[in-house]
Amino acid sequence: MEMAPRAAMMAKKSGGTSPRIVVGAIDDNMVYPLLVWAWSLHHTSETGCRFVIGQLAGTLSDHNRSTLGQLLDFMGIEHEFRALPFDNRFITQGHISPTTFAKFVLADMIPTEHVWIDVDTVASTGWDSIFSAIEKPAPGIELIVAERGVVSATSSRIATSPSNLAFNAGVLGWPAGPRRAWSRALDSMEKVQTQEQHLFNDLYAGAVSTVPESFNTLTYRIDTLKELPQLPHILHFAGAHKPWQLPKRFRKRCHSHGCPWSLWFNAERDMQASLPQHLRASLLQPLQRAAVRSGQGGWAREQRGLGLLSVLQKMGPFGWLLVIAAKPFRALIPRGTHPLHYS
């Protein structure tokens, strides 16, 4: 089915200048989340942006790529796809797919100013002010990253990275210029969790400048959104379980709790509302159903949240029985557990 782009929505916010470049990468497990990601960034951008979407060879079907292109065109989102070679050194790391290594390849392919943003994020107004730092870096600065270690409004402890890395690689601001060679460094690296983040931290140590953590706020640092002075510019749903994997019938608990996932649900709602019913039924809903079933849950520590979502998905409406049955054990359940949120 051919759909003409919506020319009226393609009007540049940038006042005739070239739109700024936002880069991401996907595979078949991230097709539906990409639509929410692109919609969110596009509609909260104050200056206009163009998306470069990479995919490693063999990880995104022709059908999914075609469907994405049709939907993004209809929503007036300027984009291009980049096919990338697959490298056997790009390994799966727990819930993290080889696609995460695409950020190295794309940075080499795009020597101009741009920002990489992981697809498991959602944006609010002001996110593109990060380009002020990207476009005018201090001498010797080759990478712009977000600070870490912000103290929660209700917590007396400083949130720290599980791996104690200096920065998270979910948002990377790239000034214009050459990139550091990473291939040989990857060859010599030990296989560790979040390997690409270790590699970025090693390669760019001493050559990074930081912007506030609001440009890459990891959700596990937040108790509730309502306790924050303002919304994060970019909210990052790091971890094995994601908001799109929660069956819709349970989402009201996240909304009433004011948990960070509610921001993703709001962006999803607005993205869906931009499409006519026939496109939602024929193109969008199959992607949404696949997204709910994506990921592999288990009961290792980092997989427990996804394991719970998988059980609820399989139980259908009877999942409420599990939610009710778990309440007497709320003292043992972290308050942020989706969708339980016992207080």
- Provide the sign of the torsion angle of the four alpha carbons 100, 106, 111, 112, taken in this order: negative
Residue-wise pLDDT for 285-307, tens only, equals: 999 999 988 876 555 555 666 67
**Is a pLDDT exceeding 60 seen at residue 125?**
yes
Which CATH fold would you assign to the domain 7-221? Spore Coat Polysaccharide Biosynthesis Protein SpsA; Chain A (3.90.550)
**Is a pLDDT exceeding 70 seen at residue 99?**
yes
Closest CA relative to residue 168, chosen from 127, 240, 121, 216: 216
Report, as an integer, the average pLDDT of 99-126: 97
Q: Can you state the angle between helices 31-44 and 62-74, rounded to 10 degrees?
A: 20
At 147, give phi and psi (nearest 5°): -65, 160
User: Which of 136 and 18 is assigned the larger pLDDT?
Assistant: 136
Rounded-to-integer distance, Cα 167 and Cα 153, Å: 21
Residue-wise pLDDT for 216-258, tens only, equals: 999 877 755 555 667 899 999 988 889 999 988 889 888 888 8
**Mean pLDDT estimate for the chain:** 84
The answer to whether the beta carbons of residues 86 and 32 sit under 8 Å apart is no
Antiparallel, parallel or unpaired: β 143-146 and 208-211:
parallel
The answer to whether the beta carbons of residues 215 and 127 sit under 8 Å apart is yes
**Is a pLDDT exceeding 90 seen at residue 22?**
yes
Rounded-to-integer distance, Cα 192 and Cα 94, Å: 11
Antiparallel, parallel or unpaired: β 208-211 and 217-218:
unpaired
Place of tokens 């019938």: 249
Residue spans per domain, the chain: 7-221
What confidence score (pLDDT) does residue 96 get?
85
**Is a pLDDT exceeding 60 seen at residue 155?**
no
The answer to whether the beta carbons of residues 292 and 250 sit under 8 Å apart is no
Rounded-to-integer distance, Cα 104 and Cα 7, Å: 33
Residue-wise pLDDT for 163-185, tens only, equals: 467 899 999 999 999 999 999 99
The token pair that represents 111 in the structure block: 């020597």
